[in-house]
Amino acid sequence: MIVDVLTLFPELFPGPMSSGVTGRGLAAGLITLRIHNLRDYTHDRHRQVDDVPYGGGAGMVLKPEPIFEAVRARTGRGPVILLSPQGERLTQQLVRELAANDDLYLICGRYEGVDERVAAHLVDREVSIGDYVLTGGELPAMVLIDAVGRLVSGVLGSEESPRDESFAEDLLEYPHYTRPAVFEGHAVPEVLLSGHHAEIERWRRAQASERTHRRRPDLLRHRER
């Protein structure tokens, strides 16, 4: 998968994505990260990318011209995504949809936001990672890349891993245990030591359902719709 990122702060990348699973995917060429400096698409001597908002108000707004020029110069055909607190919530279902593409183009917002004509006439989707405001779209872009990148074939060690984890079926993941079998008086559930795979599977499903009901009942309501 190829991911293009348009940002005012290219020095932030790859950042934490250079380590762990995503780092291995980058090193192996399974994920290609291409970072574009928004100022490279300006044509004035000050390389200005922002301006005051029409109608007044605090802060500055990213201008449409350099963003349109940057996106129109791209070579990929995948969706163009604006990272924005006003976007649709990033969920595992959306991650799976995005992972089905060969390439993505991510636009990192800054300041008070981006000229509305970008959202209305250039991007395919606006995506938010939660109901809070950050200083820019770079960290959300990294979250999205990490979530999508791990679903790229070959990035994870086991192809079964994504099927068993939290949100795969709108359920939280079941509890995990490893050695020792007893730690400070707390024992691993007997069923996991039984070697009875059908019983283990039933226990895991029941645990996932109970945990979801207790911690995230909204996910169960979503399943029932």
Compute the average pLDDT of residues 2-27: 97
CB 17 within 8 A of CB 146: yes
Cα 93 to Cα 112: distance, rounded to the nearest angstrom? 29
Residue 52: predicted pLDDT: 95
Residue 122 and residue 198 share a domain = no
Domain of residue 17 covers 2-149
Domain boundary pick from 114, 149, 184 = 149
Residue 48 and residue 136 share a domain = yes
Residue 219: predicted pLDDT: 86
The answer to whether residue 160 is domain-embedded is: no
Amino acid in the structure at residue 194: S
The answer to whether residue 213 is domain-embedded is: yes
* Res. 161 pLDDT band, cuts 50 70 90: low
Amino acid in the structure at residue 36: H
Quick: pLDDT tens for 100-156: 999 999 999 999 999 999 999 999 999 999 999 999 999 999 999 999 999 999 999
For 16, 36, 53, 171, 214, the CA distances from 67, given in Å and listed in that order, are: 25, 11, 17, 38, 44
The answer to whether residue 158 is domain-embedded is: no
The answer to whether residue 155 is domain-embedded is: no
Number of Cβ within a 10 Å radius of residue 88? 11
Total domain count, the chain: 2
Is residue 223 predicted with pLDDT exceeding 80?
no
E strand residue ranges, 131-222? 182-183, 186-187
% pLDDT > 70, the chain: 93
Residue 56 and residue 31 share a domain = yes
Residue 105: predicted pLDDT: 98
Q: What is the CATH number of the domain that holds 99?
A: 3.40.1280.10
Residue 158: predicted pLDDT: 65
Residue 157: predicted pLDDT: 75
Q: Which of 7, 57, 62, 1 is nearest to 33 (CA)?
A: 1
Domain boundary pick from 149, 177, 209 = 149
Token digits of residue 122: 């250039």
Residue 49 and residue 125 share a domain = yes
The reply to whether omega before 64 is within 30° of 0 (cis) is: no
Q: What is the CATH number of the domain that holds 176?
A: 1.10.1270.20
**Residues in CB range of 182: below 8 A, 6 or more apart:** 188
Quick: pLDDT tens for 56-97: 988 999 999 999 999 999 999 999 999 999 999 999 999 999
